[in-house]
Structures are given as structure tokens and as C-alpha cells.
Amino acid sequence: MTSTTESPAPGAGHAVAGLAAVTARARELLPDRAVISERSRLRTYECDGLAHYRVTPGLVVLPEDATQLAGVVRACAEHGVPYVARGSGTGLSGGALPHADGVLVVTSQMRTITSLRPEDQRAVVEPGVINLDVTRAATPHGYYYAPDPSSQQICSIGGNVAENSGGAHCLKYGFTTNHVLGADFVTAEGDVVRLGDAAPDSPGYDLLGAVVGSEGTLGVVTSTTVRLVRLPEEVRTLLVGFESTDQAGAATSAIISAGIVPAAIEMMDALAIEAAEAAVHCDYPAGAGAVLVIELDGALIEVEQEYADVERLCAENGAFEQRVATDPAERALIWKGRKSAFAAVGRISPDYIVQDGVIPRTALPEVLARIAELSSTSGVRVANVFHAGDGNLHPLVLFDDAVEGEADAAEEVSGAILDLCIEHGGSITGEHGVGMDKAKFMPRMYDEADLDTMQMVRCAFDPDGIANPGKVFPTPRLCGEVPGRHKGAHPLQESGLAEVF
């Protein structure tokens, strides 16, 4: 299943010359240690978290500040060389997959928290700063950074912004986009601009909103102003065992319908529990067909009331065991089972696809039943782990690459799950992004006119198409082309009031 590109495509003489020019410029701008062109070292960067796609980059640069980064991007623009931004490379959709004749701009040397201002609940961070390090810095002041992808110990804030990353606690606190107030941004031409502000709202178009979740296709974020959230007075973490995912899903709906918004409600099915037990011995309820990890936080008096209600609602929906963590170690063990679930699946299967789709929460029972059907008719095992409160599914589709045909069967089931999400009014990605992997699914969700409109936004930011080309959109067009149905000149063009990029 691994696909590897080792060298530039035939006839790529122009690209080779362009890359040589950018390499020379990067050596002028950056220290020697920050410019990597030896093949053996370049291979370190050939994939992100989606490791079955691999491309050795033409050049890797590790800028130490925004000026160096902008200089390299400007050189790329001058010579028409594609570039890809990379934070920690934990992405699961191939978004940071390099180009063989392009530059990989890695932000791991830009890890300074430039300002921490608990008094106005803000921090300003460089793009390579690790997500959890923001919380570590803010905690002594009584604050934390709320978006918490399960990869938070290693993923970067720049990557989080580009993917609009979520996490277990986004049910109550919102995704990255709700916590980013401003950003410094290097355009595809290599100019440094500021988007948004520390103030709550800026007039004009929400360009920051366009950049959050744009997966590196509009430019590179070099600094982000993020919101800090006050640490709650009380946190209560429950582990609840059910006989089936149907019961656990019904309990989730009952909790939300009762007007309770827990900080998190996570579900794992029997196969996912088996994997987590094998990997981290998390001591989840024996014989459970599903578990919920429910976290309540806030003022003590409020949490106590919610806790009583949640316990009752779970019991009414069939819970056979309920435990509440009594100390931080127990809380950590409950979360360890959930947060290690992806990697843990390696204990029960040599290979697996981490799928990511989203559906309205009410469709959970129907979609889970259809996934079970797909699994039994195809013989492909599927473990389910998900942010139940958000309806964000992470089916883990298991296969053995060494067995002929298993990888293809797994791919088929994985794609059929996305079709199910679309059919039920959901989306092909909840939080892992489209990247390279899911670009082919975009036309299943959007028609030509929608895709053309998105392409025009991209062209407005990146007219030459050098910022992470080949990602997100299935059939990139040149920006000079008038896309799709919009043939002929627009009346605004004819009147001289507008131009097509």
C-alpha cells in the first residue's frame, strides 16, 4: 500500500533549476544546520502520520524566525518552486506530504511562547510550539489552552491552526478556530501580514477564518495569538460501561437533551477497548460492548448537580458499571485508554486506517449499525473510537498488508464509511483534514460550483499555486483559468470593476 516518489518527474529540468536557485538562496538566509539537502537526511521528512504515502522532499529548511521563513517562501515564489509547511508531522491526511521537486518548510525551530498574558487571557506563540506546552506555561497562572487533540504532546500550534484541530474537550469549548484571535502569516509571495487581532472582532472579511483550516494551501502561519481559558474549579471524570454502542449512544443523546454539555463524551466499542487493554492496561469494565468517558467541569456546585443527573441518565440507558476517578492518577488512567486508542490498535492488527468522519449525533445508532454490516459482509474488522458528543467518528479499519487484497478491501470499507457520513448529512472529515488522502472524496460532498468557488479563494491567496499544491482539491486548476460553469467574462470584469485571478 506504500506509495513512494523518489525523484523528480522526467522532463523536470526547469523544476530542478528552480530548486537549485532556492537552495542557494536558503543557504544565504539560514544557518548551515537549518538547510538539509542530503538525500539520507531528507528521507526523515518523507511522510507525516499517514505513513503509507511517502515522497522524499527536494529540500528541507528549518527557519528560526519569520524573516528567514518569509525569505525562503519569497525565493520559492520567484522561481515557481512549490513548498509545503510542516509542524510536527502528526497529520493523518497526508497534508504535510512533501513534493519531490519542492521545499518542505519545517517550523520545529520556532518554539518560543513570545508572550503569556493571563491578565487578558491571551498567549502569543510561534508555530512550532507544542500544543501541550501552552497549557504547561499557562497552568501556574490558573489558565490552560482548551483545544486538546489526542496528539497534544507532540503536535504544533501551526499544524492545529492549519487543520482547525479538535479534541475530546471541543464539545464544550469549541475547535481551534474558536481559540485563535490573530496570526502573522507569510503569503505565497513571501510577504508577512497580520490577520485578525487580539481584540475580539476585526472589521472587513474574516481572512483569519479563511486561513484556519486551510491546510497550508494559503500560506504559512508564523505566529498565533491564542485564547487562554480559566482552569475549572472542579473536574469529574466518569468511566461508564454498557453492553452495546446503542445503549452508550442513547445515554449520550439523553445527557445532551437534558441540557448538560459535558467537557467531553468519548465512546469506544468492544474492539477498541480490547486494543487499549492490550496496550496500556487501562482496566476498563470487563465484558463491556462500549464505554463512555464523560468529563464534567466547572463550578463545584454545578458539577455536583450535573454528575447526579449524568449518573442517573446512564443507569436509565443500561449502564452496568459506573466509576468516577477519585484522584489525578485514576483520571489519567481513564484518559490513557482513550488517548492511546489509535496506537493501541497496533496490538490487534499489523496495519490499520484511521478514518475520520462526522455525522449528526442523532444518526449515531444507524451509522454504527451500517458500519457493522459493512464489516461483516466484507470480513474487514472495524474498531470504533469517537468523540460521541460531537458525532465525530474515528473508525479504525484493520488489515494486514502482507495478505494479498486486504489493503484494498480496507480502503473500500473506509471509503464506504465516508459515503455513509455524507448520506447522513455529515462530512468526510471531522478534524483530521482533507490533505492529500481525501481530496478524491471532495466531489462526493461538493458540486463543481462549490469547488470552483473554493478554488477562487485559493487563487486569491496563492495565484501561482505553489502553497501545498495537490492537497485538498482533486483537480487543481491554474488560477488564470475561469473555472467550471462560469464561462465567459463576468459583467464586473467587462465593466473594469473586477479581474479574474
What is the grid cell recorded at 197? 487581532
* Nearer of residues 96 and 181 to ligand FAD, judged by Cβ: 96
* Nearer of residues 106 and 374 to ligand FAD, judged by Cβ: 106
Our finding on whether 149 is near ligand FAD (CB under 6 A) is yes
Our finding on whether 155 is near ligand FAD (CB under 6 A) is yes
146-152 long-range contacts, Cβ below 8 Å, gap at least 24?
146/170, 146/173, 146/174, 146/179, 146/227, 146/229, 147/173, 147/174, 147/175, 147/176, 147/178, 147/179, 149/431, 150/338, 150/339, 150/341, 150/342, 151/49, 151/88, 151/90
First to last CA, the chain: 38
Q: How far is the CB of 117 from ligand FAD (least distance, A)?
A: 22
Alpha carbon distance 102, 104 (integer Å): 7
Within a 10 A sphere around the Cβ of 497, how many other Cβ atoms? 9
Nearby residues of 340 by Cβ (< 8 Å), 6 or more positions away: 276, 279, 280, 282
Q: How far is the CB of 260 from ligand FAD (least distance, A)?
A: 22
Alpha carbon distance 424, 417 (integer Å): 11
Looking at residue 130, the DSSP 8-state letter turns out to be B
Pairing verdict, β 122-125 and 180-187: unpaired
Q: Please list, residue by residue across 141-152, b when 16 or more beta carbons sit within 10 angstroms of its beta carbon and e when fewer do.
A: eebbbbbbbbbb
Question: Contact at 8 Å (CB) between 3 and 411?
Answer: no
Among 84, 345, 368, 393, binds ligand FAD (CB under 6 A): 84
CA 316-320-325 angle, to 5 degrees, is 100
Among 23, 56, 68, 90, binds ligand FAD (CB under 6 A): 90
Our finding on whether 252 is near ligand FAD (CB under 6 A) is no
In single-letter form, the type of residue at position 320 comes to F
Q: How far is the CB of 256 from ligand FAD (least distance, A)?
A: 20
What is the grid cell recorded at 415? 471509503
Q: How far is the CB of 122 from ligand FAD (least distance, A)?
A: 19
Our finding on whether 169 is near ligand FAD (CB under 6 A) is no
Alpha carbon distance 91, 432 (integer Å): 7
Among 18, 166, 395, 426, binds ligand FAD (CB under 6 A): 166
Q: How far is the CB of 462 from ligand FAD (least distance, A)?
A: 12
Nearby residues of 203 by Cβ (< 8 Å), 6 or more positions away: none
Our finding on whether 431 is near ligand FAD (CB under 6 A) is yes
* Nearer of residues 156 and 245 to ligand FAD, judged by Cβ: 156
Our finding on whether 87 is near ligand FAD (CB under 6 A) is yes
x/- track of binding to ligand FAD for residues 309-348 (CB under 6 A) = ---------------------------------xx-----
**Could you identify the residue written with the cell 500550534?**
157
Our finding on whether 391 is near ligand FAD (CB under 6 A) is no
Q: How far is the CB of 84 from ligand FAD (least distance, A)?
A: 5
Among 57, 158, 262, 337, binds ligand FAD (CB under 6 A): 158
Q: How far is the CB of 494 from ligand FAD (least distance, A)?
A: 36
Phi-psi region of 324 (alpha: psi -120 to 50; beta: other; left: phi over 0): beta
Among 56, 160, 225, 237, binds ligand FAD (CB under 6 A): 160
Our finding on whether 50 is near ligand FAD (CB under 6 A) is no
Our finding on whether 135 is near ligand FAD (CB under 6 A) is no
* Nearer of residues 47 and 255 to ligand FAD, judged by Cβ: 47
CA atoms within 13 A on the CB side of 323: 17
Q: How far is the CB of 48 from ligand FAD (least distance, A)?
A: 4
Our finding on whether 23 is near ligand FAD (CB under 6 A) is no
Stretch that binds ligand FAD, among 86-94, 243-251, 259-267, 402-410 (CB under 6 A): 86-94
* Nearer of residues 92 and 368 to ligand FAD, judged by Cβ: 92
Question: Contact at 8 Å (CB) between 307 and 296?
Answer: yes
Restricted to residues 202-241, the positions that interact with ligand FAD (CB under 6 A) are 215-216, 220-221
**Residue numbers of the site for ligand FAD (CB under 6 A)?**
48-49, 84-92, 95-96, 107, 127, 149-151, 155-156, 158-160, 162-163, 165-167, 215-216, 220-221, 342-343, 431-432, 435, 468
